[in-house]
Chains A and B, each alone.
Chain A
């Protein structure tokens, strides 16, 4: 064997699954905006509370352009993604999508993807921080299959539209019959001359739409929606208000709840797991955990009074024993109490259970709450 061939083969052999992507990127904690009239509010006269209300009772508009976007092509693309993740993807019709969890061979979470099947490619939305990790993962598992991955993150814009009046507004501006778009389906439309792909991703847990468009058109579309929706009380929703909404709904986030420390059953992602599909990485582990009821802990809502603790890996304990971990926290815009998410052992997941966070001067009583939380 030539030296050159030897060298290239050694370097690939050295690249095993243990040092393959991803890395557990636990996010830096960022406290939710504690000041209702804080500097992060996009308009001087809107408060965090008003943004939250708009998102849940009227129409909210949020910039989701930081989502990772991979363009996956090739005749084997859908089959490979089907073998790398938990949901059944290989019978997706054109124009339809699905959420699916990419898992390690031990059934641990790498990321939660939204895979949309389009005419000539798959549009894969990843968590903002995970696009490289997921692209590398797909490439690592591509052998002779006809699969190509292009990282298109940052090359397009995405506006999220949510709230009970979102459908009516979309109908008005796009003539697309938004109410007829099934969950996870999409339709190409034109809004004020701007080409948009309307995808019903339900990213809040309720009907919600991602409008995917060219980056150059973002400002124009955003303004048009704000104008057209003013009678419906449309409000731009800041990152902080959106984070509150996410926590209230119990939706896991990359680096907080979506990490390699946990599996999708613990993260309450069972609706994105298919138990009657072809082999995928980690399937045996996930299937056994479910069949034999061996899931040890679950993601729950939490609330507490007092100071906000910025260390989001804060341990939760009862009777001196560690029983869980706090993974996300925010301030309720309505009640001002603290709300959060955490993984807690099954015996302590009953709503109303009291746990302890911190110790000594910082010891705080934490209450387990049902999801969705009462904001």
Chain B
């Protein structure tokens, strides 16, 4: 049986986005902060993205390091975010942090909720 093409089972962050996180953290007085990314159940399409500054990982978190920043993700969220890239859309018409999730079948109008 042919092996199904697999997406890399990881979550990544662009350099731009990482820089914005760092400057955001500095402004908030927490320059060494890392971030937590995740998924919350509910939200108009089914699931909602979570993005927060974090001091350290939880017990069962996966840790991904990229561009000098650590991302903490709980195991269940990790599965739903597999292959996702956290980007930053700036400028006058920018949307801010955006989750570019290849698993998402539908998203809601404001982009904060998705379904798989």
Contact = CB atoms under 8 A, between A and B. Distances in A.
Given A83-B41, A143-B39, A143-B40, A279 B106 contact: no
Interface residues of B, number: 27
A142 B46 CA distance: 11
B44 A145 contact: no
A105 B74 contact: no
Contacts of B79: 9, 12-13
B46 A17 contact: yes
Interface stretch (A26-34, A60-68, A228-236, A280-288): A280-288
Contacts of A145: 40-41
Contacts of A17: 46, 105, 115-116
B22 to A, nearest CB: 24
A105 B46 CA distance: 6
B30 interface: no
B20 to A, nearest CB: 24
B46 A143 contact: no
A12 B39 CA distance: 14
B56 interface: no
Contacts of B116: 16-17
A1 B10 CA distance: 11
A105 B44 contact: yes
B108 A142 contact: no
A141 B9 contact: no
A251 B100 CA distance: 43
Contacts of A13: 79, 82
A144 interface: yes
Nearest to A16: B116
Interface string B33-46: 00000111111111
Interface of A: 1, 9, 12-13, 16-17, 80, 82-84, 105, 140-145, 279-284
Interface of B: 9, 38-48, 58, 74, 76-79, 82, 105-106, 108-109, 112-113, 115-116
21 contacts: A9-B9, A9-B79, A12-B76, A17-B46, A82-B42, A83-B41, A83-B42, A83-B48, A84-B41, A105-B106, A140-B41, A141-B41, A141-B46, A144-B58, A144-B76, A145-B40, A145-B41, A279-B43, A279-B108, A280-B44, A281-B46
